[in-house]
Chains A and B, each alone.
Chain A
Amino acid sequence: MNVLNFVNSFFSDSAHWHGYDGIPARLGEHVRYTLQALLLAAAIGLPIGLVTGHYGRGGNALSLVATAGRALPSFGLLVLMTTLLGFGMLPVMIPLVILAVPPILVTTYEAMRSVDPSPVDAARGMGMHESRILFQVELPVALPLILSGLRSAAIQIVSTATIAAYVSLGGLGRYIVDGLYQRNYEKVVGGATLVAVLALVTLALFWAVARTAVSPGVRRR
C-alpha cells in the first residue's frame, strides 16, 4: 500500500472538510482537549514544582509521585473513568492530566534546582523578598527547562488524546478508531498524519515561545 496515496485521497475528499466529522471540527476538538489538559496540568505542576524547587525540599516525594503517575496506564484509566463517571470531558481529562503532570512537575523542580546558587544568594543578601527572588532571579534562568517540560507534556497529550475516541469523544483519534473498525486505512493514515503534524506544530510553537520569552543572556548558557 502506498501511504502517500492514502494521505492524498484523504485530504482531497471534500467530504472530509465540513460537518461534525470534518477535519476542521475534529482538529478543533483535539486542540481544545490538548489545551484544557495542558492548562490543568500546568496549574497543578508549575506552582508545586516552583515552590518545592525554590526551597529545595520534597524532591524524593516528587519523584515518587512522578513514578506513580507514569505507572498508571492512560488507556486503562480512561476506560475506568468512563465506567465510573459516564461520558463527558472529565473522564478524558483525568488520564490526560495525570499523564502530563509528572513531566511538568519534575522538570520544573529540576529547573529551579539547577539555578546557580550564587546570584540567588546575592539577591538574598541585597534583601530581596523570597517571592521576588523566585520570580525575578530564578524563574528567568529556569525558564528554558520549564518550557521544555511543558513541551513534552503537550506532545504527550496531543498523541494520547487520540484514545479519547474509544469512549466516543471527538478529536483526531475519531478517524483512527473509526478507520480501524471500518477497515478504512485512508482515514487511519489521514488521522495519524494530522496528529503527527499537530505534534510537530506544537514543537515549533514552543520553540518560538522559547525564542521570544527566554532572555538573551540565558539562551546560550
Chain B
Amino acid sequence: MSGFLHDFFDIPSDLQHSWLGLIGLHLREALLPVAAGLLLALPIAQLCVRFRWLYPPVLGVTTVLYAIPSLAFFVVLIDYTGQTELTVMIPLAVYSLVVLVPAIVDGVRSVSEETLAAATAMGFGPVRRYFQVQLPIAVPAIIAGLRVATVSSISLVSVGMLIGNQGALGNLLHDAQIYNRPELTWNSVITTALLAILVDALLVLVRVLLTPWMPSGTARRKQAPALEDAAR
C-alpha cells in the first residue's frame, strides 16, 4: 500500500512540478479564465439588460462559440498564442462568458419593478441602484453560473495536455501512458474531481455569506436547470 501511495504521488520529472505544483497550475489555468469571463460578462450582461434587442444576437454568437469543441479551439489558437497556458485559458474564458452572460441577465432581470421603484424613490441613481440593489439580488444567479463555469473549466483544463502538455493535472494522463504507470491516471482523475467539488463547495459558501437574507439551499433549486446547459 505504501508502495502504491509512493507511486501515486511520484510525479515524473518531465512535468517539472510536484503534485501540489500541478494543483496550483491547474487552479490557475482554470480559475483565471473564469475571472476573466466574469469581468467581461458583467458589462455585456448589463448592456443586454439595458438594450433588450441586443440579447438574442449575443446569445446567437455565444451559442456558436459554445458549439466549437475545446480541443479544436486550442489547436486553432496555437498559431496565435503558441503552445502556452494562454492558449488553454482563452477558450475557457470564452466558455465561462457564454455561461455567465445569461445567468447575470436573468439575475438582474429578476429584480422586481417594485424593488427598483423603491430604490429610485430613495434617491438612488442608476449606478448606485445597479451596484447596491440589482447586483446583490442577482448574486445567487451569478454564483450558480460561476459554479457551472468553474466546474467545467477545471474539467476542461486537462484537455490542454494534448497541445504540448499544457493541461496541468491532465499532463499526468499522457505520462501515465508513455511510462506505463496507470496510477498516475487515477491521480489525475481523482485530484481533478476533488478540486472541482472543493471549489464548488467554496462557491456555495460564498453565496451563503453574500446573501444572509436567504435561507441556504433555496437558490440552487431555482437556478439549476437554467444553467445545466453549460456543464459540458
Contact = CB atoms under 8 A, between A and B. Distances in A.
B193 A195 contact: no
B225 A71 contact: no
Contacts of B188: 73, 76, 79-80
Contact of B225 (A60, A72, A111): A111
Interface string A190-221: 01100110011001000000000000000000
Name the prevailing secondary structure of the B interface residues: helix
A70 B76 CA distance: 26
A107 B228 contact: yes
B163 A180 contact: yes
Given A59-B221, A149-B225, A160-B69, A102 B75 contact: no
Contacts, number: 159
B159 interface: yes
Given A70-B151, A200-B67, A180 B162 contact: yes
B67 A70 contact: no
A179 interface: yes
Contact of B196 (A70, A106, A145, A199): A70
Given A79-B173, A152-B228, A71 B76 contact: no
Interface string B169-204: 110010011000010011011001110110010000
Contacts of A192: 68-69, 72-73, 76
Interface of A is mostly: helix
Nearest to A160: B232
A130 B100 CA distance: 39
A76 B158 CA distance: 7
Contacts of B162: 166, 177, 180
B69 A176 contact: yes
B72 A195 contact: yes
A55 to B, nearest CB: 16
Given A80-B185, A110-B224, A177-B162, A163 B67 contact: no
Contacts of B176: 79, 83
B229 A173 contact: no
Given A70-B152, A73-B192, A76-B189, A103 B75 contact: no
Contacts of A200: 63-64, 67
A72 B193 contact: yes
A68 B194 CA distance: 9
Q: In the complex, which of the residues A60, A80, A151 has the most CB atoms of chain B within 10 Å of its own CB atom? A: A80
Interface of B: 63-64, 66-73, 75-76, 79, 148, 151-152, 154-156, 158-159, 161-163, 169-170, 173, 176-177, 182, 185-186, 188-189, 192-194, 196-197, 200, 217, 220-221, 224-225, 228-232
Question: What are the nearest 6 A-B pairs in CB distance?
Answer: A192-B72, A199-B67, A71-B196, A103-B228, A152-B229, A76-B189
28 contacts: A67-B197, A68-B197, A70-B148, A71-B193, A71-B196, A72-B193, A73-B170, A75-B156, A76-B170, A76-B189, A76-B192, A77-B189, A79-B185, A83-B185, A103-B228, A103-B231, A106-B228, A148-B229, A149-B225, A151-B229, A152-B230, A152-B231, A155-B232, A159-B68, A176-B75, A179-B75, A180-B75, A200-B67
